[in-house]
């Protein structure tokens, strides 16, 4: 029976769904005097975020980026040692009150872990800073 590459077995549904395939990384957060464990975004999370702020032309539409974007991503990717999310959607507002540099560091690394280039992560950060500096966010 042919399996594509000839060396790896064909996987069953159960095998695919049971494998822990999300990349993880521990990063230091000096503003919080410690480190956090983060994971990459799931395929669902990444696509949901893309749909949320992409315009019809496929480019980032800054008018569609909500002020809680970075705290929501941080809440999704910060995990405990067992790989479980530490924060829920109820915690997003509280994370939004934390240091921008700390949250940005988490989000930037998570985007890179999620297969985005460092350039894309930097561009995303620059877009958010531009929104804040451009007074499109109200406090």
Nearest to 32 by CA among 88, 105, 107: 105
How far is 20 from 83, CA to CA, in rounded Å? Answer: 9
CATH superfamily of 22-133: Phage tail assembly chaperone gp13-like (3.30.2220.20)
The ranges assigned to domains in the chain are 22-133
Is 90 exceeded by the pLDDT of residue 101? yes
pTM over 0.85: no
Confidence of residue 5 (pLDDT cuts 50, 70, 90): low
């Amino acid at each position: 029976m042919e399996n594509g590459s000839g060396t790896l077995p064909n996987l069953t549904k159960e095998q695919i769904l049971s494998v822990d395939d999300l990349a993880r990384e521990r990063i230091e957060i000096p503003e919080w005097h410690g480190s956090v464990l983060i994971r990459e975004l799931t395929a669902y999370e990444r696509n949901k975020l893309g749909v949320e702020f992409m315009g019809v032309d496929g480019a980032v539409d800054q008018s569609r980026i909500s002020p809680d974007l970075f705290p929501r991503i941080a809440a999704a990717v910060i995990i405990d040692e067992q790989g479980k999310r530490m924060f829920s959607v109820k915690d997003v507002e509280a994370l939004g009150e934390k240091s921008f540099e700390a949250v940005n560091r988490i989000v930037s690394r998570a985007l890179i872990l999620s297969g985005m280039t460092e350039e894309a992560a930097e561009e995303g950060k620059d877009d958010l800073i531009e929104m804040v500096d451009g007074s499109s966010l109200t406090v």
